[in-house]
Structure 1
């Protein structure tokens, strides 16, 4: 997914490439990402594995309390150690010792790899042979000093929740569906049970690179700020009037918009966006599909197995909405910045 960061090659989008498009065979990537933020706050540059082991293992232990399945493999010595700690069977010193022994076997090497390629920017250097740990780069300090650094951490947590929830349902991937419940929460539904997963804003913001879907104005998922994002339905709820089967609350129809575009003066409200924005929605959805489980399976089930089928699905939905809402009632945003997706 090199196009994701090549269109706007900055530190935030390199980071998002790791979180959104890196391999998901275990949750260690997310724990390491959150640990880097923790260590940056302490001002550390050279970090030994002992020092890294504490925040890393704590993040894993906390998520094991939420979802016991934190990897696709059937067994893991490291996860068993974390479970033992959660059950008060071992103390913190033993947890750290075992984390150093088992926890970093693959994640340090794999962290900067996305679809088989190493990213052009690194957030730490592997210094296990020379310093017994890692060395944080200037880039990670710059990254977490940005205005909306907290959004990046929330996005990491949201992605982790999506992945672990899908694993925990222990069903064929195509049976796990992610939907929006109109309260701002994404729900995992496997026809047997529904599970609240995470904030829709945190889950979607990274794919839009922290920009309004319509005008590309910067947005944040932090509430009660001028630039706070709204969750918007690209196709308004009135689309149900022509086809009740359309997944209005499916992730394929959810975008993040600035307040001005969504409900400000001359905002979208329940109007249908212009046809030029349909291709943008398709491109954003293809980012979601490239991100894999569980968003990939959700979008494929909702909109089509192949990219042409998915484009056809959106076009048919658009044609239906045009007939229902009227061809003259189209909304066009004022673009405020260069397109980034």
Structure 2
């Protein structure tokens, strides 16, 4: 129970950091092109991650820092295993696709539509997270997810809704990509002894490599950026990327992608809180109602998901115990020479 609560607390902290990222990204993109902001964010993140990996290697020398986990052993030698490079490269590509699609989508639609559409991740992730032959989540989980969507609609309704346009379609694509990314984190790391820091390092290096070409024309503007802009870039890199990516991978490995998506779905609540506390926005009745609905829907959904996962685990353990008990009985009934 303590382990579950600790994991949930980390995911809620990630949601809070991502909620605050809107204000930081808005400030940065006013001074720099979107692709330059994304490149700087990934480059700073990659430098920090590489430094952390090198520091950890120095501390581990002489103690035999080869990783062993209960789930298995890391294949390969050196700083990164083959699994970490392969999985990190794939997740780096999907994460970069999420960020670029989401950033351009927000720039071409209203905050109301963007917030509502991206929150479809809450519903899409459990659909993509189902393993072949795995147990289905109960319908009540999706009812809880719909409560969360309703909460986002209430939170964002102050800006008004409009017909679908290019930005809305981009946000829909971002919601699908984000759901696929979260589901992939859970599926690709399940049963593999991959280290979150190494995985995050590969992701950030891949992201920086993907954005360096498109951003090269705007690099002079990055060199002329002032202190406040660099402060926003450092915050986006260290907290919204390095910390958030590490914490998300760590939490999904210890829980499930569905549960992680639901808790990360509280991001709009934190975005409203940051807007009220730092952006000068007013605290309205709709904001209070939306926050209350989001907390209720999240708590309900995580309770349902936890019970469903525990029930599935118990059934599998019971089936395994029954099979183990049947095997000695079958052996006792077998009489040599009676089989044709």
What is the TM-score of this pair, normalised by structure 2?
0.29
Task: Give the helix-richer structure, 1 or 2.
Answer: 2
Task: Give the strand-richer structure, 1 or 2.
Answer: 1
